[in-house]
């Protein structure tokens, strides 16, 4: 079970936000917007009954009862980061293709352009263009490598923070080991990914995109200077060796980079009401580094990574799009057979885990088991802070919802035990 000290540590991020959010908005009015307010409110209510809950009761003895508060499931909420990661792992693993090999590619942007992306962070258009540009660039590089124009498959994730929490947009990519030549209707295997070409290609595509999106004299001047300053192109990392073979490993491999928040709760060392001290592993030295910031700057480092409402952080391009893959699935399978042996059953779909499963794993106990009679408790009520009671089992019973399923009984009264054990059904499939 979680100790009181662990609960205190887990809630320290909420404490920092709750005590300083109003002051932060006054100092940085660009964040005083309804969308940020919505995210912050959800974070502060996360895990509390004021933010909504599902109530379970025992239908056998009528004594067991448990309320499970809603969580916000946001990547911004440090308390929900593990839940968010599980969801991402499940989502990505289901999209990985059986028998396919993947490579991990990272496309970064130079420091001078980070301020430009930060300036337009409230508008998702430029970030969407960044992702599309990454796809076009890598597809062109693969086509150069196989000496054919090909359609590749790509799972792309936008990450906006570095290890220290600074604003640093970059792209993490899982790339298929080849592509489809649509004219010849054949699979072209990628034996070698020419990372030397990626640097200059990425520079060319990115600077053209930013020049189009920000058509100013100042930007044209910056682009010209960046070409002169980075004569070998921009940094693009290609993982050495193959990424993990199993889908579970691949999904976690990617989620490790993108699903995590700017920092985790465990990395907050202390908060004294005015400053926050946290640690991170420095990218260059690989050593642990501690940093102390005034509390408003710390909050700024966190909220700047909240993406525009509705923005899709994970995107699927080319052969990874479901309809496109289905169209070429037979050609892909035949092509892969010619280059490597298909390993049956090597890929594994990871199902997302709900509150009950995670609680069992951490405590060894079933939270929905009645402590009085040992029966499984059922959904009794669902309450939402905006919509009110959205499900009420007691109301259903009083209105005679289940009478048609049961034999006539004494109409002198209706108890939990008498009326509900005749028909025990799961009303909702909840993932809390």
- CA dihedral (406, 407, 411, 416) in degrees, to 10, reads -40
Element containing residue 8 per DSSP (H, E): helix 4-10
Share of the chain above pLDDT 90, in %: 45
Residues 256, 393: one domain?
no
| pLDDT tens-digit readout, 137-193 | 999 999 999 988 999 999 998 999 888 888 999 998 888 888 999 999 999 888 778
Q: Which of 28, 4, 92 is closest to 301 using CA atoms?
A: 28
Residues 119, 203: one domain?
yes
- The pair phi, psi for residue 344, each rounded to 5°, is -75, 135
Residue 214 in this model has a pLDDT that exceeds 70:
yes
Residue 244 in this model has a pLDDT that exceeds 70:
no
> Could you tell me if residue 431 is inside a domain?
no
In this predicted structure, what is the pLDDT of residue 384? 92
Distance CA 104, CA 253 (A): 9
In this predicted structure, what is the pLDDT of residue 411? 43
> Could you tell me if residue 399 is inside a domain?
yes
Alpha-carbon distances, residue 43 vs 13, 72, 167, 193, 203 (angstroms): 10, 6, 21, 42, 38
Residues 5, 130: one domain?
no
Question: What's the Rg (C-alpha) of the chain?
Answer: 26
| pLDDT tens-digit readout, 39-52 | 999 889 888 899 89
CA 150 from chain centre, in angstroms, equals: 29
Q: What is the pTM of this model?
A: 0.79
Distance CA 265, CA 274 (A): 18
> Could you tell me if residue 350 is inside a domain?
no
In this predicted structure, what is the pLDDT of residue 139? 94
Q: Which of 22, 125, 85 is closest to 248 using CA atoms?
A: 85
Average pLDDT, the chain: 82
Q: How many domains does the chain have?
A: 3
Residue 352 in this model has a pLDDT that exceeds 70:
no
Q: What's the pLDDT band for 346 if we cut at 50, 70, 90?
A: very low
- Lowest-pLDDT range, 34-48, 189-203, 332-346, 413-427? 413-427
> Could you tell me if residue 155 is inside a domain?
yes
> Could you tell me if residue 425 is inside a domain?
no
> Could you tell me if residue 344 is inside a domain?
no
Tokens (6 digits) for 331: 């050609």
Residue 3 in this model has a pLDDT that exceeds 60:
no
> Could you tell me if residue 427 is inside a domain?
no
Q: Are 91 and 81 in contact (CB under 8 A)?
A: no
| pLDDT tens-digit readout, 17-72 | 999 999 999 999 999 999 899 999 988 988 889 989 999 999 999 899 999 998 88
Residues 211, 105: one domain?
yes
In this predicted structure, what is the pLDDT of residue 208? 97
Distance CA 109, CA 94 (A): 30
Residues 85, 196: one domain?
yes
Residue 9 in this model has a pLDDT that exceeds 60:
no
Residue 374's CB is within 10 A of a number of other CB atoms, namely: 12
Q: What is the mean pLDDT of residues 343-363?
A: 64
In this predicted structure, what is the pLDDT of residue 310? 87
Residues 229, 279: one domain?
no
In this predicted structure, what is the pLDDT of residue 249? 66
Axis-axis angle for helices 111-119, 124-146 (nearest 10)? 140
Q: Which of 69, 33, 26, 87 is closest to 313 using CA atoms?
A: 87
Q: Pick from 339, 365, 390: which residue ends a domain?
A: 339
Residue 126 in this model has a pLDDT that exceeds 90:
yes
Distance CA 291, CA 58 (A): 50
| pLDDT tens-digit readout, 282-326 | 877 878 999 999 999 999 999 999 988 889 988 999 999 888 888
Share of the chain above pLDDT 70, in %: 81
For CA atoms 233, 237, 240, 245, the dihedral sign is: negative
Number of C-alpha atoms within 13 angstroms, CB side, residue 142? 28
Residues 280, 230: one domain?
no
Alpha-carbon distances, residue 157 vs 247, 251, 300, 302, 313 (angstroms): 16, 12, 23, 19, 6
Tokens (6 digits) for 245: 């073979």
- Lowest-pLDDT range, 5-19, 122-136, 174-188, 196-210? 5-19
Axis-axis angle for helices 195-213, 124-146 (nearest 10)? 150
In this predicted structure, what is the pLDDT of residue 235? 87
In this predicted structure, what is the pLDDT of residue 259? 60
> Could you tell me if residue 406 is inside a domain?
yes
Residues 172, 247: one domain?
yes
Q: Are 115 and 239 in contact (CB under 8 A)?
A: no
Tokens (6 digits) for 301: 């480092």
Q: What's the pLDDT band for 343 if we cut at 50, 70, 90?
A: very low
Q: Which of 55, 11, 92, 33 is closest to 347 using CA atoms?
A: 92
Residues 247, 275: one domain?
no
Distance CA 381, CA 52 (A): 11
Tokens (6 digits) for 166: 């600074």
Axis-axis angle for helices 247-258, 81-95 (nearest 10)? 140
Residues 141, 257: one domain?
yes
Residue 351 in this model has a pLDDT that exceeds 70:
no
In this predicted structure, what is the pLDDT of residue 409? 47
Residues 151, 223: one domain?
yes
Residue 363 in this model has a pLDDT that exceeds 50:
yes
Tokens (6 digits) for 243: 């990424």
CA 134 from chain centre, in angstroms, equals: 19
Tokens (6 digits) for 316: 């699927």
The residue to which tokens 């996360």 are assigned: 46
Full domain range(s) for residue 326: 81-262+305-339
Residue 203 in this model has a pLDDT that exceeds 80:
yes
Q: What's the pLDDT band for 432 if we cut at 50, 70, 90?
A: very low
Start-end of H helices in 147-194: none
Residues 149, 187: one domain?
yes
What's the 3-state SS for 284-315?
CCCCEEEEEEEHHHHHHHHHCCCCCCCCCCEE
Beginning with the edge strand found earlier in the chain, give each strand of the sheet holding 288-294 in spatial order: 268-271, 275-281, 288-294
In this predicted structure, what is the pLDDT of residue 215? 95
Residue 91 in this model has a pLDDT that exceeds 70:
yes
Q: Are strands 151-161 and 378-384 parallel, antiparallel or unpaired?
A: unpaired
Tokens (6 digits) for 393: 């089992």
């Amino acid at each position: 079970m979680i100790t009181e000290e662990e609960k205190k540590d887990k809630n320290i991020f909420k404490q920092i936000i709750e005590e300083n959010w109003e002051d932060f908005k006054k100092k940085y009015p660009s964040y005083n917007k309804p969308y940020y307010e919505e995210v912050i409110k959800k974070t502060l209510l996360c895990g509390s009954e004021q933010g909504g809950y599902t109530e379970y009761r025992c239908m056998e003895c009528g004594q067991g009862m448990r309320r499970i508060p809603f969580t916000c499931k946001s990547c911004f909420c440090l308390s929900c980061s593990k839940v968010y990661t599980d969801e991402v792992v499940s989502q990505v693993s289901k999209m990985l293709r059986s028998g396919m090999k993947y490579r991990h590619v990272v496309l970064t942007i130079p420091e001078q352009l980070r301020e430009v992306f930060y300036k337009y962070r409230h508008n998702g258009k430029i970030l969407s263009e960044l992702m599309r540009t990454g796809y076009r660039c890598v597809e062109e590089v693969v086509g150069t490598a196989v000496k054919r124009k090909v359609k590749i498959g790509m799972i792309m994730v936008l990450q906006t923070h570095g290890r220290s929490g600074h604003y640093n947009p970059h792209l993490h990519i899982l790339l298929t080991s080849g592509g489809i030549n649509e004219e010849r209707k054949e699979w072209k295997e990628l034996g070698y990914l020419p990372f030397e070409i990626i640097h200059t290609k990425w520079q060319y595509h990115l600077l053209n995109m930013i020049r189009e999106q920000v058509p100013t004299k100042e930007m044209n001047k910056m682009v010209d200077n960046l070409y002169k300053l980075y004569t070998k192109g921009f940094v693009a990392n290609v993982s050495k060796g193959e990424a993990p073979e199993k889908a579970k490993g691949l999904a976690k491999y990617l989620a490790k980079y993108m699903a995590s928040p700017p920092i985790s709760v465990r990395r907050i060392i202390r908060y004294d009401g005015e400053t926050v001290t946290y640690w991170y592993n420095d990218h260059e030295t690989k050593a642990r580094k501690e940093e102390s910031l005034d509390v408003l700057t710390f909050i700024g480092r966190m909220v700047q990574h909240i993406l525009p409402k509705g923005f899709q952080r994970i995107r699927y391009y080319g052969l990874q799009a479901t309809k496109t893959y289905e169209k070429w699935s037979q050609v892909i399978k035949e092509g892969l057979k010619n280059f490597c042996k298909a390993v049956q059953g090597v890929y594994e779909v990871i199902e997302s885990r709900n509150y009950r499963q995670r609680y069992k794993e951490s405590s060894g106990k079933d939270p929905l088991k009645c402590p009085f009679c040992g029966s499984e408790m059922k959904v009794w009520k669902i309450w939402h802070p905006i919509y009110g009671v959205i499900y009420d089992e007691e109301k259903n019973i009083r209105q005679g919802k289940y009478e048609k399923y049961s034999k006539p009984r004494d109409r002198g009264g209706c108890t939990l035990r008498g009326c509900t054990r005749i028909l025990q059904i799961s009303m909702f499939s909840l993932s809390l």
